[in-house]
Amino acid sequence: MILYEYANAIGQDSHRFVDLMPNGSLRNPSGNTRLLLGGYLIPDGRPLLANSDGDVVLHALTNAISGITCVNILGEIADRMVREDHIKDSREYVFVAMQYLKSWKITHVSFSIECRSPHLSTHIEGIRESVSDILQIPPHSVGITATSGEMLSAFGKGEGIMVFCSLTARRAYDSFQDSQQDTNPLLL
């Protein structure tokens, strides 16, 4: 009999838009000129300030994967990838995080995005398909909701974008004893 162990993890991230620093000046050390969300290009979207491409959706996803693996990628490891190998493509951070999943399989991800702009309703499907392609899971296993935040937070006021990601993963065992001892998970 196959036994499945499930785990859920949450990841979060936020970035401010490049043209809205607190003192009103422009600062864009990354040189980002486009807005990517989940690896999907938002046409005419204001870019986000980051030392990477600023893909806040993929950063929240990376953190959620780290919530399963307990190996944190954003921070020291991703910073080193940017500094030493000039890797700014946030998909690469997701792929590095996934290397530590071992026998864990991602079964579902759900994103909650808060921003006043851009309006995301017409882009939700594109983001879902892009994330499903990155994770190699079906689009129906990628849920995305977006809220304007009603101007209550910095994100609702249009200063940046915040994303939460809830991720569900499972791994299989062929005996209860193995599952209890965290040994011999099946590679299903």
Q: Say whether residue 53 binds Zn ion (CB under 5 A).
A: no
Q: How far apart are CA 4 and CA 54, in angstroms?
A: 35
> Could you tell me the smallest distance in angstroms from the CB atom of residue 32 to Zn ion?
12
- Interface residue with Zn ion among 9, 11, 13, 113 (CB under 5 A) is 13
Residue 145 bridge partners (DSSP): 112
- Interface residue with Zn ion among 11, 32, 47, 59 (CB under 5 A) is 59
97 within 8 A of 66, measured Cβ to Cβ: yes
Q: Which is nearer to Zn ion, 13 or 92 (CB)?
A: 13
To which residue do tokens 């569900």 refer?
168
Binding piece for Zn ion, criterion CB under 5 A, among 12-20, 26-34, 103-111, 177-185: 12-20
Angle, vertex CA 155, rays to CA 152 and CA 157, nearest 5: 60
55 within 8 A of 37, measured Cβ to Cβ: yes
Q: Summarize as ranges the residues that interact with Zn ion (CB under 5 A).
A: 13, 59
